[in-house]
Amino acid sequence: MNIWIAIGVTAVGCYLVKVVGLLVPAGALERPLVKRLAALLPVALLAALTAQQTFADGHALVLDARAAGVAAAAVALLLRAPFLVVVGAAVVVTAGVRALTG
């Protein structure tokens, strides 16, 4: 049940921000500080999430096959690979490292 509540809240919230962008008069969110913050907030969130999902195991920090996989994704990004190749590289390398190291 708790999960359904989380899904409901997320769905409503995420739809509302999408529709607000399309409906609100452009001037309202055009203040420079608001725009700067809106551009930087996803940067902070995505960076923190990437780091956590790469190095976290519950409440502990670990260095395992995921780090190799995400590093492979980073290399693919530097080589300007398409989105699916980037994700695929992470998955394949992670699986490969786990298979090799047991």
Partner 1 sequence: MDADTAERKSDGAVVRDALGVGVAVGLSGFAFGVTAAGAGLTVAQTCALSLLVFTGASQFALVGALAAGGNPLTAAAGAFFLGVRNAFYGLRLSQMLALPRAVRPFAAQWVIDETTAVALAQPTRRATRIGFTVTGVTVYALWNLTTFLGALGADAVGDTRRWGLDAAGPAVFLALLAPMLRSTTERAVAGLAVVLGLGLLPVLPAGVPVLVASLAAPAVLWARGRRRGTPSEAAEGETR
The answer to whether residue 15 forms part of the interface with partner 1 (CB under 8 A) is yes
> Tokens standing for 98?
């786990």
The answer to whether residue 79 forms part of the interface with partner 1 (CB under 8 A) is no
The answer to whether residue 75 forms part of the interface with partner 1 (CB under 8 A) is no
Q: Which run of H or of E encompasses 4? A: helix 2-23
The answer to whether residue 63 forms part of the interface with partner 1 (CB under 8 A) is no
For the bound state, the minimum distance from the C-beta of residue 58 to partner 1, rounded and expressed in Å, comes to: 7
The answer to whether residue 17 forms part of the interface with partner 1 (CB under 8 A) is yes
Question: Torsions phi, psi of 61, nearest 5?
Answer: -95, 130
Site residues for partner 1, 29-48, by CB under 8 A, read: 29-30, 33, 35-48
Query: Would you list the DSSP string of 22-39?
Result: HHS-GGGG--HHHHHHHH
